Amino acid sequence: MGPTKIAEGIYNVGVIDWNIRDFHGYSTWSGTTYNAYLIMDEKITLIDTVKREFVDELLNNISQIVDPKKIDYVISNHTEMDHSGGLPRVMHKIGEGKPVYCSKMGNKNLADHFRQGLNYQPVENGGELKIGKRTLTFLETRMLHWPDSMFTYVNGDKILFSSDAFGQHYAGYENFDDEIDDHDIMHHARKYFANILLLYSPLIVKLVEKVTEMGLQIEMICPDHGIIWRKDPSKIINAYVEWSKQVPKRKAIVIYDTMWRSTETMAKAIADTLALEGVDAKPMHLRRCHKSDIITEVLDTAAIIIGSPTLNNHIFPSIGSFLTYMEGLKPAKKIAAAFGSYGWSGEAVKTINSHFETMGFDIVDPGLRVKYVPDKTGIEACQEFAKKIAHAIPA
């Protein structure tokens, strides 16, 4: 797909990756985009590049507007390789002596990535760069979601180039929020937040406060992945603030894996009872549901209930993998409980609880264990277990 004009003299020259299905453990079943932006002014400026294997397509898109060799400045908002991987080849094409503006941490990270002497120009937080009739302002957004991350704001046009914030892993011919179903794109944005930015929630709230204090007027937000927000940029900003608060709904997810369906039988009995108690309950089998989709549900759930059979005196491997993934994202304000079937030892519940303690969850029951196949008594125990959890969830 060729370049897209997003404002007078400003273009998205990025590329679509239709085929990617895994982004370092995140399920990207709709593909993604690597957006890069070209500003035509007295000093022609390129904001971000693309993955290394898409450089030819990027350069072709630029060539439809201007000879790439005429680019004067490059800005690197973020050094992760899906946005900087193509930088060495781009600079070789346009002139390796031309300046690459980046944050102070970006200066260090780019040098560490590429081990070559490009003309890096670190900028100050709040620093400005005049490129002609436009002036760019740089906003440091450290740890959103890398230490080097920053935004670039175009004064006059009131456009915010937001790097990995406000993005979505979505590939499509739609370019703007008013060209796609609102529910669909907000789902992709929510999943992106839950799996990439959740652990930085406190920083996001502070960032929005800082932008508000600066009085920046934002009429368009251009992230490095997915669609551009031009119809109502405040919608995604407000959503980030709300998601960052992690206010739980009366909702529970029952996450489990199973060997001979005994733990699955328990999971269904627990979920069924939760639903009868007025809780929005959802059972999620870890080898049927991708962990990134489960984490999307975790974002606004009140109760996380995890079930595992005991295997070799330990939890099932998929449960261990998921717990490690969830711990890294640091969800907050959750109640939790563990359950599982076992044959002769039954350590799984205790192990799951230790993870809950590490994450600071409120464990509302010491855990439910059923030996081998749940009988009538075992099912009744699952029902009582679920009722106790339901009563612990605020109405």
Q: pLDDT for 116-152, tens place per residue?
A: 779 999 999 999 999 999 999 999 998 888 789 999 9
pLDDT over threshold 80, residue 115: no
Of residues 144 and 180, the one with the higher pLDDT is 180
- Whether residue 308 sits in one domain with residue 189: no
pLDDT over threshold 90, residue 17: yes
Contact 29, 21 (CB under 8 A): yes
342 catalytic residue (yes or no): no
Q: Given this model, what pLDDT does residue 359 score?
A: 96
- Whether residue 301 sits in one domain with residue 229: no
Q: Given the residues 83, 188, 225, 355, select the one marked as catalytic.
A: 225
Q: pLDDT for 269-288, tens place per residue?
A: 999 999 999 999 999 999 99
Distance CA 387, CA 394 (A): 13
78 catalytic residue (yes or no): yes
Q: Given the residues 17, 57, 148, 164, select the one marked as catalytic.
A: 164
209 catalytic residue (yes or no): no
Of 140, 170, 168, 172, which Cα lies nearest the Cα of 153?
140
173 catalytic residue (yes or no): no
Assign 161 a pLDDT band (cuts: 50, 70, 90).
very high
355 catalytic residue (yes or no): no
pLDDT over threshold 90, residue 9: yes
Contact 246, 300 (CB under 8 A): yes
- Whether residue 208 sits in one domain with residue 188: yes
Burial (0-12, 13-18, 19+ Cβ within 10 Å), 368? buried
Residue range(s) defining the domain that contains residue 137: 4-245
Q: Given this model, what pLDDT does residue 297 score?
A: 97
Task: Tell me how long the chain is.
Answer: 395
| Number of domains making up the chain | 2
Mean of per-residue pLDDT scores for the chain: 94
Q: Given the residues 48, 57, 80, 257, select the one marked as catalytic.
A: 80
Q: Given this model, what pLDDT does residue 133 score?
A: 97
The region of weakest confidence among 19-33, 106-120, 181-195 is 106-120
- Whether residue 371 sits in one domain with residue 321: yes
The reported pTM is: 0.94
Q: Given the residues 83, 145, 169, 355, select the one marked as catalytic.
A: 145
Q: Given the residues 11, 34, 78, 277, select the one marked as catalytic.
A: 78
pLDDT over threshold 80, residue 1: no
pLDDT over threshold 90, residue 36: yes
| Residue showing tokens 């094409």 | 93
128 catalytic residue (yes or no): no
Q: Given the residues 17, 41, 57, 82, select the one marked as catalytic.
A: 82
Q: Given this model, what pLDDT does residue 147 score?
A: 86
CATH of the domain at 229: 3.60.15.10
187 catalytic residue (yes or no): no
- Whether residue 352 sits in one domain with residue 374: yes
Among 193, 210, 245, the domain-final residue is 245
Distance CA 82, CA 19 (A): 14
Among 216, 245, 274, the domain-final residue is 245
Beta bridge partners of residue 285, listed in sequence order: 256
